[in-house]
Amino acid sequence: MTQGSGIIAMYESKAQPLLAPMQFYWRLIGHALIALLVIVVSVLLGMFGFIYFEAMFWHDAFLHAMFLLGGLGAISVPQTMAGKLFLGFYGLYAGLVFVTVLGIVFAPVAHRIMHSFHLDNDS
User: Is 20 a member of any domain?
Assistant: no
**Along the chain (123 residues), what's the average pLDDT of each consecutive run of 10 residues?**
54 76 91 96 97 95 94 90 95 94 92 75 51
User: Is 19 a member of any domain?
Assistant: no
Q: Which pTM value belongs to this model?
A: 0.81
User: Is 17 a member of any domain?
Assistant: no
Cβ neighbour number for residue 105 with a 10 Å cutoff = 15
Using an 8 Å Cβ cutoff, are 112 and 24 in contact?
yes
User: Is 45 a member of any domain?
Assistant: yes
User: Is 75 a member of any domain?
Assistant: yes
Residue 19 pLDDT: 78
Instruction: Please give the tally of structural domains in the chain.
Output: 1
Residue 12 pLDDT: 73
User: Is 18 a member of any domain?
Assistant: no
CATH code of residue 107: 1.10.287
Residue 20 pLDDT: 84
Residue 9 pLDDT: 62
